[in-house]
Amino acid sequence: MIGFLVYLLVVLIALIILYSLFAAVFFRREIQSAFQKDPAARNYLEVLMLYPGIHSVIMHRLAHQLYVLKVPFLPRFLSETMRFFTGIEIHPGAEIGRGLFIDHGMGVVIGETAVIADNVLLYQGVTLGGTGKEKGKRHPTIGSNVVIGGGAKVLGNITVGDNSYIGANAVVVKDVPANSTVVGVPGRITQQDGKKIDFDLDHIHIVDPIMQEIEKLSRRIEELEKKVK
């Protein structure tokens, strides 16, 4: 029994070493990106073994190559397996550039026709999704050096330009020019090329359109009551 446990331990150590060497050769940029973007990253082994965002990207590279080769079933099986272990869902058809870092990761969804350029940072709960059941290109294209905050939704066949920042919980359904900051629901551009676009946007008191309509109806009823009297 002890001999078997020792054997398993040796096999596990060997697999860890092989995985580390493989990642060091083929995924060096992703690992460097983790150190650049996450102040909690302390050492190479910790990032490689304990960061679900790194695991999901590595598995996606393999699944995507199989998807491109039109291998049936296996690409989706790999992506769904990784979703089970990491909480990150990346369709094998998504095209992802170098240096993507998914911080925390839980709840991230990247659709089939999404395109992500280099050096992008995604936080937990981000969705790069579609807006309906249309075929063809139906997911967003994300430029280089883009940061998308936690819980943000970028939906439809739209483009987010290079060096842009999407605020937490924003819902973006229109193209975003390069060098822009977008916040709110629906997403509104507040800065572009370092200049403020909207000085009146309130990030704390979010407008409730239903309540607005109720208030309008209440005012209208009051006006009618005054006329009747």
Which alpha helices (H) appear in the chain, and where do they start and end?
2-26, 28-37, 44-50, 52-68, 74-86, 209-228
> Residue 112: its pLDDT value, please?
95
Domain parsing of the chain, residue ranges: 2-228
> Residue 195: its pLDDT value, please?
60
Q: How would you classify the pairing of strands 188-192 and 180-183?
A: antiparallel
**197, two tokens:** 């676009």
> What residues of the chain score a pLDDT lower than 50?
197-207
> Residue 139: its pLDDT value, please?
96
> Residue 174: its pLDDT value, please?
93
Q: Are 33 and 49 in contact (CB under 8 A)?
A: no
Instruction: Please state which architecture CATH assigns to domain 2-228.
Output: 3 Solenoid (2.160)
> Residue 202: its pLDDT value, please?
45
| Cβ-based burial of 216 (10 A; exposed 0-12, middle 13-18, buried ≥19) | exposed
Q: What is the sign, positive or negative, of the torsion defined by CA atoms of 97, 32, 192, 186? A: positive
CA 224 distance to own-chain centroid: 50
Picking from 118, 138, 116, 142, the residue whose alpha carbon sits closest to that of residue 129 is 138
